[in-house]
A and B are shown apart, each in its own frame.
Chain A
């Protein structure tokens, strides 16, 4: 009652306004009258249609009830009949595999979205801003990291099958390159899905499959930071624009062979030589099980590049050889509930070229040489052991070392060495907190004692990680 009164008064007010706006002539009135009549007729028609529809609906409902009743009856007889009927009842109905009404929704084909959030607190006994590593220039994004609180590698990744032949993935990450904060396309690639006989092709921007850790995202690492040789020789992780061919052999033992062509623009390469195909890699991995409780993976790889002005000032031919080995032991193969993971990687870096002082580095006035030969070998290695106590806790130790060259632009008779221990607490597959202590000797008689506290969580799509 109140509502209709309100409607009436609103209508009146509106009408009042309309009349006030322009006073009507009798012709106008007649036209209006005619229109109202027409509308009334139309309204009556609509009412009739609505009534018809209502009747139809109630008829349909009655029919539905009838069908339900008969269905129930058949179900009852069926259930009584035999176990086969019971089986049918638990079988998925044929139409269940058809997409639901949600398929009409534009979001139904959205890619799987996974978000990684990562942050650190670090305390270093040496000021990270003055950090120097004997024999190895510290390139952007590597080294001890920041003092105090900072955001770590936080990223969003999207992945889905593109069509019947291709899979695509995009990973965008937050980046803080010595204060230049921004986002970066970390990976953006497509994979083939239907090449026969164990072949896979990947194209786009991606992390190279050399070594073990290189193709793994850092949030799956066992330590807060990458081992020294990864920092020194690969800038933590070598990724670039390129294409990859992989082949998995049809053997009982896992055997994988492959190679990549890269643009050659990201450290340790630079300058995108050879018309933008400045680097290439080769890799081979083998793996298998020993009983139910042991698994292993080992490989050899090589990265070869023609480089112009890399981040460490090198130009020339550089070749990096890697060997990696992983051994996991866990009672009955339950690696998330206990056991030991041992991993080592060896690096051999060969350079034949020259060093030019990068433009953003101040030239030492006592040694103003701008260009000098850089020829020689350097090596690196790490060994890590992680003991998983149970689903929640693991503890680990890592030893990493670099062997410097005693000639060239970064001569050093001291070889940087570091020891790290860590403890990780996992609340679930999707979150962990890690405490790490590192004892780092980057120069003779200089020690950086560092404590790290890290959180790392995954939101959204459930990731399926590599071994």
Chain B
């Protein structure tokens, strides 16, 4: 009995969590932020990654296993974005609540993805059979995910289902107003051409009517080569691209190189919540993204 008490004390010393609130593990900060919008204080959110990390290649770190172990719900982009680490976290954590069923929420299951490859062959680079998983940059898709997520939170925590729906209604109103504002503000971006680092921006481009004319990565997930960058100089100049886009976590060197050789500015966009000072939540993420694009779109 004494031994048990000592053991319990040791566990407390390592930080056992009070199980009052719903514990949510968000693979990416944008979904953590969305859970916060919908649940408020009713959920404790652990984000597995930061805006400065490449979520394609995260390692199944012990700290993440510990977080998944305690989670009542995991919220991730899905579409195989986390295939290199999430399955390992779930298998190691021994937490059946999130292994499948209601506790396992993949945002990609709630929306339609773009760029589903017609041919699956790794010689095409790091392609995702279930389509492009970077859909957090489309506010309509974020809203669709929010609806499904509020329902899921209610399913897991029926006592607070009404609260989640109320938060969703509030979020929806604010979000739709914000969308109108962003769309009005970003009108000058329509029809403008961009070069991107990785194929991360298709949803943003589709939403704002921008056109992608090239990517620094020769194939998705393959680091930029000097030969490929050189081949982009003429394309970038001739098409009158207005910006070279990259995410906060990406290596700035290839974009800067192309910028130097073409005079087209390279822009670092937050890409997710926490990607810059302004992106403190989902609203800030889109505010900042559009401000940064407009700043170079003269």
Using a CB–CB cutoff of 8 Å, the interface residues on chain A facing chain B are 82-84, 86-93, 96-97, 164, 167, 191, 193-200, 246-255, 285-289, 292, 295-297, 328, 332-337, 390-392, 428-430, 462-467
Contact = CB atoms under 8 A, between A and B. Distances in A.
Contacts of A335: 57, 59
Contacts of A254: 62-63, 65-66, 69
Interface stretch (B109-117, B157-165, B192-200, B279-287): B109-117
B69 A90 contact: no
Interface string B94-125: 11100110000000011110000000001000
Nearest to B49: A333
Contact of B59 (A195, A197, A467): A467
Nearest to A431: B122
16 contacts: A83-B176, A90-B138, A92-B109, A164-B100, A167-B91, A200-B94, A250-B70, A253-B66, A255-B11, A289-B61, A295-B62, A295-B63, A332-B53, A333-B50, A467-B60, A467-B61
B53 A334 contact: yes
A193 B99 contact: yes
B53 A333 contact: yes
B87 interface: yes
Contacts of B80: 462
Contacts of A93: 112
Which bucket holds chain B's interface residue count? 35 or more
Contact of A86 (B14, B54, B69, B140): B140
A90 B17 contact: no
A252 B17 contact: yes
Contacts of B54: 334, 336-337
Contacts of A249: 11, 14, 16, 69
B85 interface: yes
B179 interface: yes
A242 to B, nearest CB: 18
B87 A288 contact: no
A464 B66 contact: no
Given A193-B96, A464-B88, A391 B223 contact: yes
B40 interface: no
B22 interface: no
Closest 4 CB pairs between A and B? A287-B62, A252-B15, A254-B62, A251-B14
B9 interface: no
B191 interface: no
B60 A464 contact: yes
Contacts of B223: 390-392
A248 B66 contact: yes
Given A90-B141, A91-B111, A248 B59 contact: no
B144 A90 contact: yes
A287 B61 contact: yes
B126 A428 contact: yes
A288 B138 contact: no
B147 A334 contact: no
